[in-house]
Structure 1
Amino acid sequence: MEDIPNYVAATFIAIVIAVLGFIYYAVNTATPGKKNLTSSLVVTILVGWIFFVCVQTFNGYFTNLSGIPRLPMFVGLTIVSIIILFIWPRTRAILMEMPITTLHYIHIVRVPVEMVLWWLAVSRAIPMDMTFEGSNLDIISGISAPFAAVFMVGSRSKSRIGATIWNLIALALLYNIVKTAIGYMPYYFTPTGGEVANLGVFYFPYVLLPTFIVPAVLFSHLVSLYQLIFKKDQPQF
């Protein structure tokens, strides 16, 4: 990991900050009159989670591959947290009021994420198959996100069906790269010849890709679909 240029880590950290900003804005907009308490609490919890994950990373927790797969376990905790948000009526009401355009614009970060993955692959920290040169087409979601935000859920044009289809396709692309990334993890993959395993995400700051960025993207898709399916009082659709 020492051979990876510093600008790669800097770019990824900027992505993390951008995602935090998108989430803060979405929650703040969904809770008017709360004096920013709810959005501040959400960001504080997320920053606390990021700090906890980073501490564990620096302590070598994730690079210890013996016993239960630790990184997938942490990812599982984020999935459970998302499920709880949809189950609890109070948080579900907030999800329904999040600005759907913001929930689409957030996917723009998938473009620089793909660049970071490519840089990591060039440095042999992850397999090239996890990039747009391989089987990962997730960059399409990032490129098309602003068009979906403007012409499917924005002020210029509305299409509930189009937005639903876009989210489902983008979800499928997300699933594809996640499945590929899991398959190359050292728990399940032994490199042979010139192959490399998916080791980059076990180190700071790239550990935040599976433990924060991917769950945030998944969350945005699920909330968008939730609104598109159940929010019947949106005149723009």
Structure 2
Amino acid sequence: MENIPSCVSLTFLACVVATFGFIYFAIQHAGGRGSNVPIFFTTLCAIWVFVVSLLSIQGFFQDYHAWPPRLMVGLAILLALLILLMSLSGVRRFIAEMPITTLTYIHIIRVPVEIVLWWLFINGVVSEVMTFEGVNYDILSGISAPFAGLFLVGMKSKSRIAAIIWNLLALGLLINIVVRAIMATPYFYNPVQFDVPNLAVFYFPYILLPLFVVPGVLFCHVASLYKLIFITEDTED
């Protein structure tokens, strides 16, 4: 990983900051003035990112023979947390106040993330399958996000059904690459399917892709679908 150009890492770190910023803005808007929720979120996310980054720098995730697989444990924790949060009525009421435009525009970050993955492929630390030159079409979600934000959930133009379909399609593209990325890790690597194993995500800062950026994007899809399907207001938050 020492041979990866610094611009790749810096670009990805910018994606991490942008992910945090979009979600923070949505939470701050929902919480309103005087709410402690944004501060709590900031602290919780900062601790999580710090711990994950520190463990990655120390080589914790690079023990591919540890059981249970350490990266998978991190993913399971975040998935369980998402399910827990969505099961709480208070959290769902809070999500209902989040601006859906923000929850949509966040997906723009998927464009630079895909460019980072392509750079990592060029440097031989991820498989071509995981890039837009392979079977990863997730970049389409990022390219279409501004249009979805403007014309499907925007202030002057709305289409609930189209917004639901867009979110489901974009979620499908996300699941497609996540599954392929997991199958390309050393845990499940099959040289017949992948030219090289997916190693980058076990190192800092790219560990934050599966353990922060992807869960953040997933949360925004879930929150958007919840608002579009179960919340019936016709006006934008």
> Is this a same-fold pair by TM over 0.5?
yes
Q: Does 1:34 align with 2:58?
A: no
Q: SS state of the match for residue 86, structure 1?
A: helix
Identify the residue that residue 154 of structure 2 maps to in structure 1.
Answer: 154
Within 5 Å, which residues of 2 pair with 1:1-237?
A: 1-35=1-35, 37-66=36-65, 67-191=67-191, 195-235=195-235
Greater displacement, 56-65 / 157-166 = 56-65
Cα deviation per residue 1:199-219 (whole Å; 9 max; x = unaligned)? 000000000000000000100
What amino acid is aligned across from residue 152 of structure 1 in structure 2? Answer: L
Give how far 1:234 is off: 2.8
Q: Could you list the runs of 4 or more consecutive aligned residues of structure 1 that deviate by over 3 angstroms after TM superposition?
A: none
Structure 1 distance, partners of 2:50, 2:60, is 14
What amino acid is aligned across from residue 55 of structure 1 in structure 2? Answer: L
Structure 2 distance, partners of 1:190, 1:128, is 14
TM-score (norm 2): 0.96
Structure 1 vs Structure 2: percent identity of aligned residues?
Answer: 49
Q: SS state of the match for residue 60, structure 2?
A: coil
Q: SS state of the match for residue 79, structure 2?
A: helix
Q: SS state of the match for residue 71, structure 1?
A: helix
Structure 2 distance, partners of 1:87, 1:151, is 30
Q: Are the counterparts in 2 of residues 24 and 40 from structure 1 also a CA contact under 8 Å?
A: no
Q: Are the counterparts in 1 of residues 128 and 195 from structure 2 also a CA contact under 8 Å?
A: no
Q: SS state of the match for residue 43, structure 1?
A: helix
Structure 1 distance, partners of 2:33, 2:183, is 46
Structure 2 distance, partners of 1:85, 1:203, is 28
Give how far 1:190 is off: 4.4
Give how far 1:191 is off: 3.7
TM-score (norm 1): 0.96
Q: SS state of the match for residue 61, structure 2?
A: coil
What amino acid is aligned across from residue 103 of structure 1 in structure 2? Answer: L
What amino acid is aligned across from residue 56 of structure 1 in structure 2? Answer: L
Q: Are the counterparts in 2 of residues 4 and 120 from structure 1 also a CA contact under 8 Å?
A: yes
Give how far 1:60 is off: 1.1
Structure 2 spans left out of the alignment, 5+ residues: none
* Count of equivalent residues: 236
CA RMSD of aligned residues (A): 1.6
Q: SS state of the match for residue 115, structure 2?
A: helix
Structure 1 spans left out of the alignment, 5+ residues: none
Structure 1 distance, partners of 2:207, 2:235, is 41
Structure 1 distance, partners of 2:146, 2:52, is 31
Q: Are the counterparts in 2 of residues 132 and 139 from structure 1 also a CA contact under 8 Å?
A: yes
Structure 1 distance, partners of 2:156, 2:234, is 15
What amino acid is aligned across from residue 147 of structure 1 in structure 2? Answer: F
Give how far 1:233 is off: 2.5
